[in-house]
Chain A
């Protein structure tokens, strides 16, 4: 079958699944304010886990086994370089002109001296890698994140970032390549590469949580907010629930100092 038609069919099927599950999700009364669509999200989360177990993780394992480490680094750099133009544009759209120019400078340097992006020479030239996407740009423009949403195959998002996803996919160049076999093989290699970075972590997620779904959700939301704020989110407040029973710690420390 023509891959374009196949992709469309897949899309329609997944959309249909989503609508059905969404309708089911609305009927329940979820408890987390960030996650009103919990019923649908849980269903999609296990669908994604299934897809990961059956297809994506095995592909990543094979990739990891047959590709020598330096080659993997080169592949990672190559895709990272393709993304820099889009990252730069988003920086500009967010008003961070200098960062945007730096990203485009990275692209220019790495695409040439860095042998089509395989080597990341720019990082050593004071042109650091940034992390931006259109979802973050929307956030800077004042769009609220909306409810948490697990997107088929792409995983955790907020509604805002899910809406930005089609543009982000277009923007990173790989999906805009016209030559279909090139585009498809690059998509597969990229997926395998980025999944292989996370091999082994699924065990940590399995063993380190009571409820994998909740753990992944809260992890994603915290991390997303951190990235939207360019690594400077509002500081976490740490409560002290022992404070009532114990003497206030501040006074003890003052006493200690007085003794010195």
Chain B
């Protein structure tokens, strides 16, 4: 009996030794690095970007990237305090609409990719942290590097990114001003309508 206990204890210690640095310390760093490299790989290999098939490339990037974002948290941060007033049904529609807006915006930004490289800086992180900021730098010839930070939080489903801060600008909270304006005029429902109208506008012009 004590033999089993001892084995178990050693086993636990080994597990802790292996698991702790990997899960608690390096997981966010690793996630951001792998994700960035995967996206850069798609951008570099794919000729679609240059032959005007940007949509195909954007779809591939979206598939790779989106499982690692916490869109609920992102939408909540973009909406601000009024999030609490929204019914679960409205929250769902907000998440949907905001997600499509982000995808539209950033698939567009991908076409700007030229020959940039990305440098990673190790994040400073305590083992108990549930929030962490992973810092990267985009280098391009003939220009100052641009700092791009990813803010992650530990959820039940693992580490998820919920904000991207580019050159000091939080891409999520930057929406707050315009969202608050819509809410002031037409409430939560007004904001959802504005987002959905914008979506229709662009999907129509995209097909036409």
A contacts, CB < 8 Å to B: 31-32, 72-73, 76-77, 120, 129, 131, 197, 200-201, 203-204, 207-211, 214-215, 217-219, 222-223, 225-227, 231, 233, 236, 238-242, 244, 249-250, 252-253, 260
Contact = CB atoms under 8 A, between A and B. Distances in A.
Contact of A129 (B144, B147, B179): B144
A242 B156 CA distance: 15
Interface in B109-163: 109, 111-112, 130-131, 141-144, 147, 151, 153-156, 162-163
In the complex, the 7 A-B pairs of residues with the closest C-beta atoms, listed nearest first = A226-B168, A208-B105, A73-B142, A241-B83, A214-B178, A211-B178, A218-B177
B84 interface: yes
B174 A238 contact: no
Nearest to B199: A207
Contacts of A249: 130, 153-155
Contacts of B147: 231
Contacts, number: 111
A189 B181 CA distance: 39
A242 B72 contact: yes
B105 A236 contact: no
Contacts of B81: 239, 241
27 contacts: A31-B181, A73-B142, A76-B142, A77-B142, A200-B111, A207-B101, A207-B104, A207-B108, A208-B101, A208-B105, A208-B108, A209-B175, A210-B178, A214-B178, A218-B176, A225-B168, A226-B169, A227-B168, A231-B168, A238-B151, A238-B162, A239-B81, A240-B73, A241-B79, A242-B76, A249-B130, A250-B130
Contacts of A31: 181, 184
A32 B177 contact: yes
Contacts of B101: 207-208
B19 interface: yes
B143 A222 contact: no
Nearest to B131: A238
Nearest to A74: B142
A200 B202 CA distance: 16
Given A241-B81, A241-B83, A242-B72, A233 B142 contact: no
A210 B169 CA distance: 17
Given A209-B175, A215-B175, A231-B168, 5 more contacts: A208-B104, A215-B177, A217-B177, A222-B174, A236-B170
B42 interface: no
